[in-house]
Amino acid sequence: MKPVVKKTALASIVVAGIAVATAMAAEEASLNVGEVNVYSYRQPFLVQPLFEAFTAQSGIKVNVLFAKTGLVERLKQEGANSPADLIFTVDVGRLSEAYAAALTQPVVSPALAAAIPDIYREPDGHWYGLTRRARIIYASRDRIAPNEAPKTYEELADPKWRGRICTRSGNHVYQVGLTAAMVAHYGEARTEAWLKGIKQNLARKPQGNDRAQVKAIKEGECDIALGNHYYYVLMQQNKEQAAWAKAVYPVFPTIGGSGTHVNISGMALTKASPNQENAVKLMEFLAGPMAQQMYAEQNYEYPILDGVPETSALKAMGPMISDSLPLADISRHRSAAIKLVDKVGYND
Ligand code: FE
């Protein structure tokens, strides 16, 4: 055992504006070696059952600090004194951001390398994907015949869809991810033309979240929308939103002749991690068959580990073949994507 690492208790570090849904243990003692401290952008109810399963198996306690925003900034401020071992995100953008800010460290683990395909991890091990989230097209059941629906993201810029598309803000991480993937496939000039084309096809100013776009289809405002795949299942399970889901069908478009654009939820080991050994154990557990199965069942996401079955709800949506470009290459184009969104005035 390593000596006890005394760090400032998390509860004593209060950063204004950060909503702490699940406070980490207040006592300094809880940050001893023998535990793992996680900063999570993932909602507690999604990760808690996984951490409980890990604790049951390993005896290692997991403390979670959840926030919707600001965790990367917080890591920066805390520097070498940060009690965090791991950062969990629902988007590759924030993982890349933490990596670019030198807040992560490489993890070399044969178990992780075997479980996680190389297109879903940073080449040196600075971050790893845990689940895949497809960005799909939702098409109106009443107004678009399946053979007419766009089969590619590229087609969304076709003038034949004038006034018929709804999307959320072009600056949202989900949209930025897709635009960055376009840049990775086609370069900036063609992506700019693509963004302009979609903007011209919008039925309304970008607004709302993914589900709000499907609602707009139900209400007749538009016929095509972009959204993450798991919302289809979540809407079906929601009393009010089931009718929205009924108004659409999912289409898994391709990009650059490859597959559907996916983003990842993922994890990174922090540079200052005081409990590295245990943190890596947790990382390996989450990439293993049991945790991957739990992820798939609870969150309706696509597992990252080969051989873990998709849930029946996902199977019912149809086959998903994902884009084969490495996410590390895609996320490199995120800042270019954001600039293009501004340049074409996508949100205006
Ligand atoms: Fe989401």
**Equal CATH topology for 31-132+262-309 and 134-261+323-343:** yes
| Per-residue exposure over 216-226, b if at least 16 CB sit within 10 Å of its own CB, e if not | bbbeeebbbbb
Distance 337 CA to ligand 1 centre (A): 20
Distance 262 CA to ligand 1 centre (A): 12
* Nearest Cα residue to 41 out of 324, 212, 263: 263
Residue 94 has pLDDT above 70, yes or no: yes
Residue 45 has pLDDT above 90, yes or no: no
Question: Mapping DSSP to helix (H, G, I), strand (E, B) and coil, where does residue 37 land?
Answer: strand
Percent of the chain with pLDDT over 70: 90
**Average of per-residue pLDDT values in the chain:** 90
Q: What is the mean pLDDT of residues 200-211?
A: 98
Predicted confidence band at 299 (pLDDT cuts at 50, 70, 90)? confident
Q: Where are the alpha helices (DSSP H) in 237-325?
A: 242-246, 276-286, 289-299, 312-317
**Rounded-to-integer distance, Cα 230 and Cα 225, Å:** 14
**Rounded-to-integer distance, Cα 242 and Cα 228, Å:** 16
Q: What is the mean pLDDT of residues 65-94?
A: 94
Distance 43 CA to ligand 1 centre (A): 10
Options 3.40.190.10, 3.40.50.2000, 3.40.640.10, 3.20.20.70; CATH of 134-261+323-343: 3.40.190.10
Distance 231 CA to ligand 1 centre (A): 7
**pLDDT value for 33:** 57
Q: What is the mean pLDDT of residues 177-181?
A: 98
Predicted confidence band at 309 (pLDDT cuts at 50, 70, 90)? confident
Q: What is the mean pLDDT of residues 226-240?
A: 97
**pLDDT value for 293:** 93
Cβ 223 vs Cβ 140: under 8 Å: yes
**pLDDT value for 19:** 34
Predicted confidence band at 18 (pLDDT cuts at 50, 70, 90)? very low
Predicted TM-score (pTM) of this structure: 0.88
DSSP letter assigned to residue 307: T
Distance 31 CA to ligand 1 centre (A): 31
Q: What is the mean pLDDT of residues 240-263?
A: 97
CATH of domain 31-132+262-309: 3.40.190.10
Across-strand partners of 166?
225
Percent of the chain with pLDDT over 90: 85
Domain boundaries, the chain: 31-132+262-309, 134-261+323-343
Least confidently predicted of 7-21, 151-165, 256-270, 313-327: 7-21
Q: What is the mean pLDDT of residues 235-239?
A: 97
Predicted confidence band at 6 (pLDDT cuts at 50, 70, 90)? very low
Residue 118 has pLDDT above 80, yes or no: yes
Question: Mapping DSSP to helix (H, G, I), strand (E, B) and coil, where does residue 271 land?
Answer: coil
Residue 272 has pLDDT above 70, yes or no: yes
Across-strand partners of 139?
224, 249
**pLDDT value for 32:** 52
Question: Mapping DSSP to helix (H, G, I), strand (E, B) and coil, where does residue 100 land?
Answer: helix
Which of the pair, 33 or 329, is modelled with greater confidence?
Answer: 329
Residue 2 has pLDDT above 80, yes or no: no
Give the model confidence (pLDDT) of 124-140 as tens digits: 999 999 999 999 999 99
Least confidently predicted of 18-32, 81-95, 330-344: 18-32
Residue 20 has pLDDT above 50, yes or no: no
Predicted confidence band at 198 (pLDDT cuts at 50, 70, 90)? very high
Distance 131 CA to ligand 1 centre (A): 12
Distance 293 CA to ligand 1 centre (A): 19
Distance 11 CA to ligand 1 centre (A): 28
Q: What is the mean pLDDT of residues 203-211?
A: 98
